[in-house]
Amino acid sequence: MRSIVCIPTYNERENILRMIDAVHAVVPDTHVLVIDDGSPDGTSQLVAERRAIDERVHLITRSGKLGLGTAYCAGFAYALEQGFDLILQMDADFSHDPKDLLRLLEEIANYDLVIGSRYIQGVNVINWPMSRLLLSWFANLYTRVITGMPVADATGGFKCYRSDVLRKIDLTKIRSNGYAFQIEMNYKAWRSGARVHEIPIIFMDRVHGVSKMSKNIVYEAAFLVWKLKLTTIFTFGRA
Ligand SMILES: Nc1nc2c(ncn2[C@@H]2O[C@H](COP(=O)(O)OP(=O)(O)O)[C@@H](O)[C@H]2O)c(=O)[nH]1
Ligand SMILES: [Mg+2]
Per-residue model confidence (pLDDT) at position 111: 98
CA angle (119, 120, 122) in 5-degree steps? 75
Q: Is residue 232's pLDDT more than 90?
A: no
Evaluate whether 197 touches 115 at the Cβ level (below 8 Å): yes
Per-residue model confidence (pLDDT) at position 235: 79
Of all residues in the chain, what percent are helix, strand and coil, respectively (each to 5)? 45, 15, 40
pTM: 0.96
Mapping DSSP to helix (H, G, I), strand (E, B) and coil, where does residue 111 land?
coil
Average pLDDT over residues 75-102: 98
Of 39-48, 103-112, 223-232, give the lowest mean pLDDT range. Answer: 223-232
Q: How far apart are CA 63 and CA 84, in angstroms?
A: 25
Q: Is residue 153 part of a domain?
A: yes
pLDDT digits (tens, 9 = 90+) for 26-37: 999 999 999 999
Q: Is residue 22 part of a domain?
A: yes
Evaluate whether 5 touches 57 at the Cβ level (below 8 Å): no
Sheet holding 113-117, edge to edge: 57-61, 31-36, 3-9, 86-89, 159-162, 113-117, 196-200
Q: Is residue 163 part of a domain?
A: yes
- Between 193 and 121, the higher pLDDT residue: 193
Evaluate whether 44 touches 70 at the Cβ level (below 8 Å): no
| Proportion of the chain above pLDDT 90, given as a percent | 89
Per-residue model confidence (pLDDT) at position 238: 57
Q: Is residue 239 part of a domain?
A: no
- Side chain identity, residue 70: T
Determine the residue of 14, 65, 73, 91 to mutate for testing ligand 1's pocket, defined as the one with the most ligand atoms within 8 A of the Cβ atom: 91
Q: Ligand 1, residue 12: give the atom nearest the CA.
A: 25
Q: Say which CATH number the domain at 61 has.
A: 3.90.550.10
Q: Is residue 143 part of a domain?
A: yes
Evaluate whether 19 touches 7 at the Cβ level (below 8 Å): yes
Per-residue model confidence (pLDDT) at position 237: 62
What DSSP element (H or E) covers 125?
strand 125-126
Nearest CA to ligand 1 atom 11: 91
Evaluate whether 158 touches 87 at the Cβ level (below 8 Å): no
pLDDT digits (tens, 9 = 90+) for 145-197: 999 999 999 999 999 999 999 999 999 999 898 889 999 999 999 999 999 99
Q: Is residue 73 part of a domain?
A: yes
C-alpha 132 – ligand 2 centre gap (Å): 12
- What secondary structure, in 3-state letters, does 129-179 show? CHHHHHHHHHHHHHHHHHHCCCCCCCCCCCEEEEHHHHHHCCHHHCCCCHH
Structural domain boundaries enclosing 22: 3-234
Burial of 166 (0-12, 13-18, 19+ CB in 10 A): buried
Per-residue model confidence (pLDDT) at position 32: 99
Per-residue model confidence (pLDDT) at position 214: 83
C-alpha 232 – ligand 2 centre gap (Å): 31
C-alpha 55 – ligand 1 centre gap (Å): 24
Q: Read off the pLDDT band of 213 (50, 70, 90).
A: confident
Per-residue model confidence (pLDDT) at position 158: 98
Q: Give residues (CB < 6 A) around ligand 1.
A: 8-10, 12, 35-37, 65, 67-68, 71, 91-93, 95, 206, 211-213
Determine the residue of 5, 7, 10 to mutate for testing ligand 1's pocket, defined as the one with the most ligand atoms within 8 A of the Cβ atom: 10
Which residues contact residue 40 at a Cβ distance below 8 angstroms, ignoring those fewer than 6 apart? 11
- Between 35 and 231, the higher pLDDT residue: 35
Q: Read off the pLDDT band of 215 (50, 70, 90).
A: confident
Evaluate whether 59 touches 36 at the Cβ level (below 8 Å): yes
Per-residue model confidence (pLDDT) at position 236: 65
The domain tally of the chain equals 1
Question: Could you list which residues have their CB under 5 Å from ion ligand 2?
Answer: 91, 93, 95, 206
